[in-house]
Structure 1
Amino acid sequence: MAKAFTDEDDALLEELGVEVETKRQGTRTPREERIIAGFEEIQRFVDEHGRPPQHGDDRDIFERIYAVRLDRLRGLPEALELLIPLDHQQLLSGAALAGVAGSDEVNDDELLAQLGVDAPPEGGVRELRHVRTATERREAEEIANREKCEDFATFKPLFQQVQKDLEAGIRQTRPFELKAEIRAGAWFIVGGQKAYVAEAGETYTTPQGRTDARLRVIFDNGTQSNMLMRSLQRALNKDDAGRRITDPVAGPLFSGEREHGDEASGTIYVLRSKSDHPLVVANREVVHKIGVTTLDVAQRIAGARLQPTFLMADVEVVATYKLFNISQTKLENLIHRVFGPARLEIEIKDRFGNPVTPREWFLVPLFAIDEAVERIKDGTITAYVYDPTSARLRMR
């Protein structure tokens, strides 16, 4: 026997963006079911827009259909008797009982005819076997209603930076879980595109007690949408590949001093090469290899003269920084991104005569590396990049 949902179950499903439908009790005629289904679509419109549907040439075609339909339901005694117990929004109570003359059937083809729209050949536009649900239609409409973001040039650098942060491990993608994760400044991946919540309007409560807000969402293809928070929530929940993008790592990334409970992760090491390569000889004081290792540094550089990554030459250790509780790979990627503009472009031969281009050597003075380590400690490094012309870190 199926277990009935409790109020707590409904609340949990609601938070997860799953809409719960209550099974109707009793037997109704197909006509009654159609009347109720049509009225429920009007109710969902009111939930979303906070007002009843209105007439007018400037209104969306669906809103105009709902407005005509509501007028007819108000004038149909059979419909009133059926729907008033369901009318929690007071759409029918107190309404004038003067309907459309000569009509006792809620016919969507006639509604379209009144609006000057040709009905489809296969029947009414709202027949459930031909038409998507209201939720599916709203989601499709919001996607279709995306418009060009006129000030996308303002946001493009943010998208570029987020991509770099993802590649460096500063940000990560996580499965979307709760509506509370949707806020101004948040990043998501939905429909295969990065989405940035640039603005979030004031949160309000629908008649059903659900919270919602109007958002301005910018997409990485240069479009934008003024969608509802709940619509973005539904889109993320329906998208198997939908993800939230985490905020950058905040606070100190590591400390040079070990604290109680810390676990050692490794060491940043800075090496100077003893290679006789002309490019190295001419710039020896500023040519440095910057790496991260979980091994003892002496063990890491053993046999350096036989390894292309060390330029097939012995090396000198000029600085080390002990790490605690931090990912070696992510930190190394971060450091290499910061000093990327000063990467040493050099090609050497390995011991078999094959050409190799090492990627961990940089034309950077030691004091700039020290500054970078301090900014890693205080968590501000993500705002900086190395400027080769001034030989210093600068704000992005």
Structure 2
Amino acid sequence: MLDFDNELKKILKDDPLGILKIRKSQSITTDQRLKVSFEEINKFIDENEREPEESIDISERKLFSRLKELKKDFGKASILKDLDRHNLLENVKENITVDDILSNDVLGLLDDDPVNIFDLKNIPKNKNKTDFVARRKPCENFKDYENNFKTMQKEIKEGKRKLITHKEHHLKEGRYFVLDGILLFLEKIEDPIVKEFNDKTQGKRKRLDPRIRCIFENGLESNMYLRSLGKELYNNGSTVIQSNDEALDEFTKGFNGITDKDNATGHIYVLSSLSKKAEINSIRDLYKIGYCTTSIETRIENAENETTFLMAPVKIMSAYKTFNLDPQKFESIIHNFFSERCLDVKIADKKGNYKMPKEWYIVSLNIIDEIIQLTINNQIHNYKFDHLSNKILHL
């Protein structure tokens, strides 16, 4: 008679693949999950030699958002310190000083407290008095700005204005910005105030940090510090780029006070190609930066027959009129700035002769317009273009 108990024991014992063994699953900790996610960013940089950008590619955009949040989190940056081989998080600092907390309080959350946190007892009064907290309050003359806000929103919606990544040099009187989805107008930058603060590594330091007056489209205003606004815009905001009309107006004012008596010398233009060839229309952010002494429309009317225009029609994206200035020299400055991004391609003319057009660059339109503005304002020598990260860097 068959002994079922013994047979079952033989089956359980004869298990060379370990199929019948019970394995205990190991749960992944929060820190481990954080390290795995950060390693994905490291791998992207290893393969692409640049940080992830706010791209239309969903995977890259996800890494960009993840890195952006990590750069604001001191606790997570500390955990990832040993894995940060690209020094992505080396400047993440912990906001623990009163001055840091107040500088970040752009919403005025620390103001109007029933108890003054600075009324300390039994402590020697040998410290500098902390400056009053910036706060948002109703703007009494908001009606003077309301129509301008409506016009600005309309032009942004119609594409006449664009939102670009905020940079420090954008902070000028009369400019518009978007902070946390709210449009604001930087009306006034007061006289610079020298602030003294304690730095953990360098001791006492001084810096210029003027008060400002900015108006928000929701009817509020604030007198925060300029550096506080800049910090918030860098983290959660954008700059509203000028319209072509305003850019041209600034251009004419930026060179020796242009008047009606000054001579127009030509045009600087930025064009996009309407070529139907796959090797051309598949290139993202491809633009031609050139100049002409005639009208731009006259210059491009025969574009489909000229190799300099890639033997195809073109579309005018931006245009600048020059006064008392050699437009060729102005064009040369821009070309030198983007030299690492020049398109390397050979185009055949109608006779089959190949030529290499040298005025096409693979750079976003926002960056091109920004560099033209820096050149107009005579600030271009303070900046350089990093072609690997596709960013403008302050020297």
Please indicate the TM-score interval, normalised by the length of the shorter structure: 0.3 to 0.5
TM-score w.r.t. length of structure 2: 0.34
Larger Rg computed on CA atoms: 1
